[in-house]
Amino acid sequence: MVKIEHTIFALPFALLGAFLAVRGLPRAAQIGWILLAMVGARSAAMAFNRLVDLPFDSKNPRTRNRALPQKQITRGFVILFIVLSSALLVFAASRLNRLSFELSPLALAIVFFYSYTKRFTWWTHVFLGMSLACAPIGAWIAMRGDLTATPIILGLAIALWVAGFDIIYSCQDVDFDNKEPLYSIPKRFGVAASLWISAGLHLVMVCILAFLFWKEGLGAISLAGLLIVGLLLAYEHSLVRPGNLSRANTAFFTINGWISVLLFVTTMIDLLWNKTG
């Protein structure tokens, strides 16, 4: 129902937000509570999505083998799992600072709301991006107890990145969506146009990150990481064609997992290098 690799998309960006907030290495306890908050938030969001999408997942050939449609777990278990995961997020946020605790229910509301957006708007991919953008913004607040332009810019870049690769992933379901009351960019514009829209979002994402790194005074290590990310995104888009989506899962999971880790590691090294230098 919830795979650990699903967390790899957002977790490195949460840590990136924390490192940027303190311009260096956060305390071990802070990192620990952020990790627990992220696991709780992501687990609750994924389980909630599986629960509310059950009527569609049961009919979609791509998703009908998931745990809930196959009755490998019960709805009651999933509901309990959501409650406990949500409680973990709220508790972890309370251990960071008051503002993190007060905003934790809002974070949950945002990630839960996404699961309903595909029922009424083809902007659903952007809402998913907004959900993952909560990661670095929340981590920044956890470190500093305030909100400035830096985490918002980083969150915007992440939202565009996520929306872009989710469009690619959704191309696999365009035939199913056309038969159901579901909305997506591939359904609205077709697969070929959607792949171009995805590429455009990723191009803007790279430009925003370049501006952010310049604004924050980051150096060559971060820029080198961003250059590699740009090349990985180009490779990602080379894997999918309107008539051949067989490698969409590789583009979705593997490459984007590397992108999130690479951006965090190179920026972390840059921040720590500049601080010690």
Q: Is residue 103 part of a domain?
A: yes
Q: Cα separation of 275 and 190, whole Å? A: 48
Residue 230 lies in a domain: yes
The pLDDT value given to residue 251: 66
- pLDDT in the model for residue 246: 82
Are 110 and 132 within 8 A, CB to CB?
no
Residue 267 belongs to a domain:
no
User: ∠ CA(220), CA(221), CA(222), 5° rounding?
Assistant: 95
Find the domain containing 178 and state its range: 4-262
CA-closest candidate to residue 85, choices 30, 5, 7, 15: 7
Report the alpha-carbon distance of residue 140 to residue 133 in Å, rounded.
11
In-domain check, residue 100 = yes
The reported pTM is 0.93
Structure tokens at 41: 């938030």
Q: What pLDDT, on the 0 to 100 scale, is given for residue 5?
A: 61
Tokens of 194: 């959607």
Question: Is 269 within a domain?
Answer: no
Tokens describing residue 165:
């690769």
pLDDT for res 276: 59
Tell me if 271 is assigned to some domain: no
Between CA 144 and CA 141 the distance in angstroms is 5
User: Amino acid identity, residue 213?
Assistant: F
Indicate the number of domains in the chain: 1
In a domain, 270, yes or no: no
DSSP label at residue 251: I
Rg of the chain over Cα atoms, rounded to whole angstroms, equals 19
Q: What is the pLDDT of residue 247?
A: 80
The reply to whether 276 falls in a domain is no
pLDDT tens sequence across 14-63: 999 999 999 999 999 999 999 999 999 999 999 999 999 999 999 999 89
What the block records as the tokens of 249 is: 């899962």
Q: What is the CATH number of the domain that holds 76?
A: 1.10.357.140
pLDDT at residue number 3: 67
Q: How far is CA 119 from the centre of its chain?
A: 20
**Residue ranges in the chain whose pLDDT is less than 70:** 3-7, 250-252, 275-277
Cβ atoms of 21 and 145 closer than 8 Å: no
What is d(CA 241, CA 170) in angstroms, rounded to the nearest whole number?
Answer: 13
Tokens of residue 97, six digits:
């600072």
Residue 77 zone, left/alpha/beta (φ > 0; ψ -120 to 50; rest): alpha
Q: What pLDDT does residue 253 have?
A: 73
State the DSSP string of 206-219: HHHHHHHHHHTT--
Q: Which residues pair with 244 in a beta bridge?
A: 241
